Structure 1
Amino acid sequence: MGREVRNIATGSRSFTDSIAAKTQCNANVTSTDVRRLGLLESLSFKAQIAYGRRTYGKRASITRISRTQVVKTTSHTKLTEALTLDYIAANTTIPVPRVHRIFEDSRGYLNLVMDYVEGMELEQVWDGMQPRDRLAVMHQLRDYIAQLRKLKPPRPGAVEALNGDACKDFRIRADRPFASVAEFQMFLGRDWFMENKLAEYNEFAPALQRSAARSYRTVFTHCDLAPRNILVKGARIVAIVDLEFGGWYPEYWEYTQAYFSNLALPGAGAGVWELFEEEAFPERYPDELTTEICLASCFERY
């Protein structure tokens, strides 16, 4: 049998209220949020998954199970992704999928049952888009990034997931939340780099030193704003997806992470990053990007 987190769409206490309470007290989701599924319910859900794969196919971690819903499951899916999606939906106008139910299967994997959003990945249609349509998408994205940055962290300065857990990012593999940006940067190796490697990167020393001298606020960050995670219809963004890495990060992190995410595109992005940088970001952080590039070349995080 599996387990099911209480239906997010129903109940005497709204999921949004539950999130607000957990975020305020910085508490983790506990076993009291989970109930045991009956055997028939588990079998029914497995049948839905099988039907979806036959009917719609399976794509990476996503299986469409009906005209209106998909299931996301991986070995590393966490409840924080569902919390984040609902928090963003409740506090911004950013279009994100609505989570309806969460199951834990016999492997212990979480299954997020979410809205199916009809649209194309920006990555798939970018090359065929008119310049004005590309610009329109970037301006929408700029507004969405600005909305994320206006959200108020429960613990200003802490680098953590929405519920106070460690931020999930396979590229840095943090095993804990960080009480401060300085602690986060130390974990990334910045202090060691400045003490031991600065001479080898002398050309970039001014940018590295300026970045090291600054203090940073924390803002809510998607953390993987790659075109594959932006769904569009024509020139309109219909969904921002894959918020599993989302959390409270240093204010420059969205900007630097977007650079690395866009490098992974076929053909080095065909101008995506340049337009992202110019049109989508309310604030730019060139010194911090230089620092992250140097650190990435030294520690091979990406």
Structure 2
Amino acid sequence: MASQPINDTFLIRWAIHILYKMLSIRWISRILSYTRLIKYIGPGVLIILWSVCVKSTPFTLLAEASAMRFVSENTKIPVPKVYSAFEHRGRVYIIMELIDGTCLAGDWCRRTPDSRTRILNSLRGMMRQLRQIPNPSGASISNIDGGPIYDQRLPGPHQWGPFRNIADFHRELRGNFEEPVCNGEFVPDLARLIDFHKQPWPASVFTHGDLSSFNILARGDEVVGIVDWETAAWMPPYWEYTSTWHVNPYNPFWQEEVGRFLEPFPEALTAEIYRRKFSGD
């Protein structure tokens, strides 16, 4: 099922269209930036009047807005409130709440051990809530709307699937290898990867997929927001752990914390190393 727009009204479309037209005029853009009425905080992401965030990148999808609304309706995890989401001329725009907080990447290394523990305990509870949401389709691999999953870290195309089950996803992930033979030679690491993939799997679980310290916001010792849900999907139970462990080369310190708020899957982490070796990641 294709992801649907949210609160897609003529007035909102008109306002966003006028805003981007104004920003394309250099002197107007400079005035808006100087007065801080508009502020860019990243490629394709801007802040309006200190309280509203507009996200529109070449990779922004309506499924991200659907995921945030879904999490808000089914958990107590703090996520941005989605005001509107629509597609215009092949580009998606998400208008959402700007959460007042500081990303953990900015001050994690300066926090006390007690402060870190409080935050990680809070994150553990939030991830438990996420895992407790039942997948209505069982073990399928898909985005929240039943469509393809998106992840720039996956080899080849950024959008995959959807898949009927975890086995089909794993088969695609390892390049459809069914036997541990490459160029006529037995490959032990490929054999280990296939064995890992072919074990029995429980139902897929809802997964953020990009839990970098850059995407977790806090005020003091309180987690006030988890953002960037573009990779959110129904994924294998281990996926959150392995993706978070590998998520961002610019905050390697986060790898030391992953096992303190997510269930560790050491076997999956080893299998992911094998997969990356064969896919050239």
Q: TM-score, normalised by structure 2?
A: 0.84
Question: 1:43: how far off?
Answer: 4.9
State the alpha-carbon separation in 1 of the partners of residues 13 and 279 from structure 2. 47
Gaps of 5+ in 1: 1-26
Question: Partner of 1:171: helix, strand, or coil?
Answer: coil
Q: Are 1:288 and 2:268 matched, yes or no? A: yes
Question: Partner of 1:64: helix, strand, or coil?
Answer: strand
Which of 181, 185, 199 is 2:170 aligned to?
185
AA partner of residue 227 (structure 2)? V
Which of 70, 73, 76 is 1:87 aligned to?
70
Equivalent residue, structure 2, for 1:229: 215
Equivalent residue, structure 2, for 1:66: 49
The structure with the largest helix share of the pair is 1
Q: Are 1:134 and 2:116 matched, yes or no? A: yes
Instruction: Calculate the aligned-residue CA RMSD, in Å.
Output: 2.8
Which of 226, 229, 238 is 1:243 aligned to?
229
Q: Does the CA-based 8 Å contact 1:52-1:66 persist in structure 2?
A: no
State the alpha-carbon separation in 1 of the partners of residues 12 and 113 from structure 2. 53
Q: Which moved more, 1:120-129 or 1:39-48?
A: 39-48
Go from structure 1 to structure 2 and tell me whether the alpha carbon gap of 1:294 and 1:57 turns closer, same or farther (over 3 Å shift): same
Go from structure 1 to structure 2 and tell me whether the alpha carbon gap of 1:52 and 1:239 turns closer, same or farther (over 3 Å shift): farther
Question: 1:104: how far off?
Answer: 3.7
Q: Are 1:252 and 2:238 matched, yes or no? A: yes
AA partner of residue 125 (structure 1)? D
Go from structure 1 to structure 2 and tell me whether the alpha carbon gap of 1:40 and 1:236 turns closer, same or farther (over 3 Å shift): closer
Q: Are 1:152 and 2:144 matched, yes or no? A: no
Q: Are 1:28 and 2:2 matched, yes or no? A: yes
AA partner of residue 138 (structure 1)? L
Question: 1:169: how far off?
Answer: 1.0
Q: Does the CA-based 8 Å contact 2:196-2:271 persist in structure 1?
A: no
Question: 1:287: how far off?
Answer: 0.9
State the alpha-carbon separation in 2 of the partners of residues 225 and 237 from structure 1. 13
Equivalent residue, structure 2, for 1:171: 153
Q: Does the CA-based 8 Å contact 1:207-1:287 persist in structure 2?
A: no
Go from structure 1 to structure 2 and tell me whether the alpha carbon gap of 1:43 and 1:159 turns closer, same or farther (over 3 Å shift): closer
Question: 1:194: how far off?
Answer: 5.5
State the alpha-carbon separation in 1 of the partners of residues 193 and 256 from structure 2. 20
Q: Does the CA-based 8 Å contact 1:80-1:162 persist in structure 2?
A: yes
AA partner of residue 293 (structure 1)? I
State how many pairs are aligned. 267
Q: Does the CA-based 8 Å contact 1:207-1:288 persist in structure 2?
A: no
Go from structure 1 to structure 2 and tell me whether the alpha carbon gap of 1:43 and 1:243 turns closer, same or farther (over 3 Å shift): closer
Q: Does the CA-based 8 Å contact 2:5-2:86 persist in structure 1?
A: no
Question: Partner of 2:64: helix, strand, or coil?
Answer: helix
Go from structure 1 to structure 2 and tell me whether the alpha carbon gap of 1:52 and 1:131 turns closer, same or farther (over 3 Å shift): farther
Cα deviation, 1:47-85, whole Å, max 9, x if unaligned, reads: 686476442531223200112111111112111111111
Identity %: 27
Question: Partner of 2:147: helix, strand, or coil?
Answer: coil
Go from structure 1 to structure 2 and tell me whether the alpha carbon gap of 1:241 and 1:193 turns closer, same or farther (over 3 Å shift): farther
Gaps of 5+ in 2: 24-28
Q: Does the CA-based 8 Å contact 2:39-2:46 persist in structure 1?
A: yes
Q: Does the CA-based 8 Å contact 2:180-2:188 persist in structure 1?
A: no
AA partner of residue 241 (structure 1)? V
